[in-house]
Amino acid sequence: MLPLPAHDLLLSWLHTLVEATANLAFALSGLLAGMRKRLDMVGVCVVMGLAAFGGGTLRDVLLDRRPFFWVAHPGWLWILIALGVGAILFVRSSHFELTERAIQWPDALGLGLFTASGTQLALAQDLPAIVAVLMGVFTATFGGILRDVVCNDIPTALRDRRPYAVCAFVGGWMYVLADHLAWTPGMALLLAAATATGTRVVALWRGYELPAGYTAGSRD
Amino acid sequence: MLPLPAHDLLLSWLHTLVEATANLAFALSGLLAGMRKRLDMVGVCVVMGLAAFGGGTLRDVLLDRRPFFWVAHPGWLWILIALGVGAILFVRSSHFELTERAIQWPDALGLGLFTASGTQLALAQDLPAIVAVLMGVFTATFGGILRDVVCNDIPTALRDRRPYAVCAFVGGWMYVLADHLAWTPGMALLLAAATATGTRVVALWRGYELPAGYTAGSRD
Amino acid sequence: MLPLPAHDLLLSWLHTLVEATANLAFALSGLLAGMRKRLDMVGVCVVMGLAAFGGGTLRDVLLDRRPFFWVAHPGWLWILIALGVGAILFVRSSHFELTERAIQWPDALGLGLFTASGTQLALAQDLPAIVAVLMGVFTATFGGILRDVVCNDIPTALRDRRPYAVCAFVGGWMYVLADHLAWTPGMALLLAAATATGTRVVALWRGYELPAGYTAGSRD
């Protein structure tokens, strides 16, 4: 069954809302990282932008999609700049101790939303399921990886053992499953996002850890 | 008013000149960075290439433009390789102490030229003004960011507090303004480049500094 | 003379074989790097993927080619994930001391194969010879560079003085030469790969070193 135009409109509006929320959460993680590294005002804004838009932009370059989210919705660029400049000018350090932990929750929401939208866009191009799921994972994780690479750290997502990309991976497969069962895109989106966000929240709450690799030549 | 063919030719020629000059300045910054990190001959050439062509190539990937500058003008690749190999084989360390400071001036020129050409190409695709300005900023700064990331440093442009991307940002808006006032592309290019280069030179000369972010958990 | 369909089929099959072998060799180098940095299971898989597919994907983005190797052959993604997860779960550190040196040989094979296929694909788009050769070099080296950047090291290929990109460069020119002499694509592929792999093996065996750059401000 083809989705009705009304569905299309709703879906498109939902997509915008989803990406906006996820962008904001990731931008905040970039803000924190940039402040912690004592970057200047430009550096903080750049790291916010990489964290917020890096994942979606990589996905769109790989899928050859245009326009990018930040080209279609340039207002978000202003919001990011205002946030970054405002944070540098007005915020005191004590506040950030607080937000550091608080940011885990919007970040988990962003993880779910980006996973779901990335998987959906890739499936819409008839890509193989594993590729579509990985596009969801890239969308959700690549912003954070870019943020950490530019800050000269080994990306947190690759080394802290706390499930993150794995949650996106599981969420992406939920989308594929729902799509296979012919659920509506909106429902599939919801299932995938809830799964990725939910597993992430549970993993954080219960302190689950992934196994790590090491060799005789490992650091320490 | 449509530009006459003669204008087009002149503009195209001007573009090539502008990109060539900017490329050379950025290549020299890559040469210095690579030598300082004691990279080998290949490493120095790669870092020069990233610094020179990284910004323009990212812009073209984002704008979906082909061919890249270095594909259309492959002679520049030879010039870069010759410069890198020559520097490794013939140059003594004492010379570089000298060039380190000297490079700020061609670099400021490159900043202006890349800003102007990046903004112009984005506006030609009818992108929103803020996006076009940021494309100018990317063109001007991303080569240096890639250079520093590959050299395993936090990019200078993001942390040294000296205005750099900010000058590109201001220059880009001058292009948008000139375009809005229906100036010829050549005049708009000149205004934007002069603004970005000029503010950079003044900022260096007067020692202006941007505010920086820090939190209780900052380094030192 | 146009290649016969049978030639085309053979060539296409040869390409797949070549990319598969090279991918596997580079994936193993990523596995080692990830284990040595003590990344978690996700990190090891990501670094393997970057090392294996990074070079070919960058080449395809630059050449505007789709689908990527890992989209057309998604089975390889499963192989990588299985390898990474298996290595983390079952492998003891002592084994890796062994493979560290052993990996140089498949890696040299991968170098040759990626060089040849990258140069061939670029020439097929009528790009200038130097650009085609550099596309071969990118294909062969960029995966390793991404691997090292994400692991927060200065890329080995840029600083260890052992010829690597240089071998790819020489191999790429052999392809251009063979193409100029109107050899069949299969023979040109063989010559280029044998040259790049052969010079790499000789360089490792004889301990050849490239000159390196340094200045008064160099590290140590």
> Contact A158/C40, CB-based, under 8 Å?
yes
What letter does residue C4 receive in the DSSP assignment? P
Check residue C7 and give its pLDDT: 67
Best to test chain A binding among B158, B166, B169, B208 (most A CBs inside 10 Å) = B158
| From A25-29, A191-195, C48-52, C59-63, the region with the lowest mean pLDDT | A25-29
Rounded CA separation B19/B25 (Å): 10
Nearest CB among B71, B78, B96 relative to C127 is that of: B71
B77 interaction partners in chain C (CB closer than 8 Å) = 130-131, 134
Q: Who's near C53: CB < 8 A, 6+ residues apart?
A: C23, C68, C69, C70, C143
And the tokens for B171?
A: 């220059």
Min Cα distance B27 → chain C (Å) is: 15
* C122 shares contact with chain A (CB less than 8 Å): no
* Averaged confidence pLDDT in chain C: 87
Q: Inform me whether the pLDDT recorded for C110 exceeds 70.
A: yes
Q: Inform me whether the pLDDT recorded for C198 exceeds 50.
A: yes
Most confident option among B81-95, B120-134, C93-107: B120-134
Higher-confidence position of A169 and A23: A169
Q: Inform me whether the pLDDT recorded for C219 exceeds 50.
A: no
- Per-residue pLDDT of B107-154, as tens digits, reads 898 899 999 999 999 999 999 999 999 999 999 999 999 999 999 999
Between the CA atoms of C59, C64, C70 and C72, what dihedral angle is there, to the nearest 10 degrees?
-140
Neighbours of C54 (CB within 10 A): 24
Min Cα distance C86 → chain B (Å) is: 30
* Cβ neighbourhood burial of A47 (10 Å; 0-12, 13-18, 19+): buried
> Contact C93/A165, CB-based, under 8 Å?
no
Check residue A94 and give its pLDDT: 52
Q: What value does the mean pLDDT take over residues B154-168? A: 92
Check residue B100 and give its pLDDT: 65
Check residue C180 and give its pLDDT: 95
Of B205, B178, B204, B210, nearest to B191 (Cα)?
B178
Question: Which C positions 48-77 lie with beta carbon below 8 A of chain B?
Answer: 61-62, 64
Q: Inform me whether the pLDDT recorded for C55 exceeds 80.
A: yes
Higher-confidence position of A122 and A24: A122
**Contact (CB, 8 A) for A113 and A19:** yes
Check residue C2 and give its pLDDT: 47
* C166 shares contact with chain B (CB less than 8 Å): yes
Nearest CB among B128, B131, B210 relative to A41 is that of: B210
The pLDDT-based confidence of C63 (bands split at 50, 70, 90) is: very high
B211 interaction partners in chain A (CB closer than 8 Å) = 40-41, 88-89
Q: What value does the mean pLDDT take over residues B65-72? A: 92
**Contact (CB, 8 A) for B72 and B20:** no
CA atoms within 13 A on the CB side of A36: 19
- Of all residues in chain B, the one with the smallest CA distance to A92 is B215
Min Cα distance A93 → chain C (Å) is: 28
Between the CA atoms of A148, A152, A155 and A161, what dihedral angle is there, to the nearest 10 degrees?
-130
**Contact (CB, 8 A) for C164 and C157:** yes
Min Cα distance B29 → chain C (Å) is: 14
Check residue B105 and give its pLDDT: 81
The pLDDT-based confidence of C9 (bands split at 50, 70, 90) is: confident
Q: What value does the mean pLDDT take over residues C118-142? A: 95
Q: Who's near A47: CB < 8 A, 6+ residues apart?
A: A30, A31, A33, A34, A37, A39, A147, A150, A151, B158
Check residue A95 and give its pLDDT: 57
C128 interaction partners in chain B (CB closer than 8 Å) = 71, 74
Angle between the A93-102 and A5-36 helix axes, to the nearest 10 degrees? 130
Best to test chain B binding among A42, A146, A154 (most B CBs inside 10 Å) = A42
- Per-residue pLDDT of A110-128, as tens digits, reads 899 999 999 999 999 999 9
Q: Inform me whether the pLDDT recorded for A38 exceeds 90.
A: no
| From A48-62, A138-152, B28-42, the region with the lowest mean pLDDT | B28-42
Rounded CA separation A62/A68 (Å): 12
Check residue B214 and give its pLDDT: 61
Of B198, B17, B177, B51, nearest to B112 (Cα)?
B198
Higher-confidence position of A216 and B25: B25
Neighbours of C61 (CB within 10 A): 16
- Of all residues in chain B, the one with the smallest CA distance to A89 is B211
Q: What value does the mean pLDDT take over residues A77-91? A: 88
CA atoms within 13 A on the CB side of B130: 12
> Contact C152/A153, CB-based, under 8 Å?
yes
The pLDDT-based confidence of A219 (bands split at 50, 70, 90) is: very low
And the tokens for B199?
A: 């503010």
The pLDDT-based confidence of C25 (bands split at 50, 70, 90) is: confident
Check residue C80 and give its pLDDT: 93
Check residue C218 and give its pLDDT: 47
The pLDDT-based confidence of A93 (bands split at 50, 70, 90) is: low
Rounded CA separation A167/A55 (Å): 16
**Contact (CB, 8 A) for A143 and A50:** yes
Q: Which residue has the tokens 């690597």?
A: C164
- ipTM score for this prediction: 0.87
Check residue C104 and give its pLDDT: 82
Give CA angle at B200 (A86, B95), nearest 5°. Answer: 125
Rounded CA separation C32/A214 (Å): 9
Rounded CA separation C49/A78 (Å): 35
Q: Where are the domains of chain A?
A: 5-206
Q: What percent of chain A has pLDDT over 90?
A: 61
Amino acid at A210: L
Q: Which residue has the tokens 């090291």?
A: C153
**Contact (CB, 8 A) for C137 and C54:** no
**Contact (CB, 8 A) for A135 and A57:** no
Check residue C87 and give its pLDDT: 85
Rounded CA separation B44/B123 (Å): 34
The pLDDT-based confidence of B1 (bands split at 50, 70, 90) is: very low
> Contact B97/C217, CB-based, under 8 Å?
yes
Min Cα distance A66 → chain C (Å) is: 14
**Dihedral (CA of C90, C96, C98, C104) sign:** positive
Higher-confidence position of A4 and A66: A66
Rounded CA separation B94/B135 (Å): 37
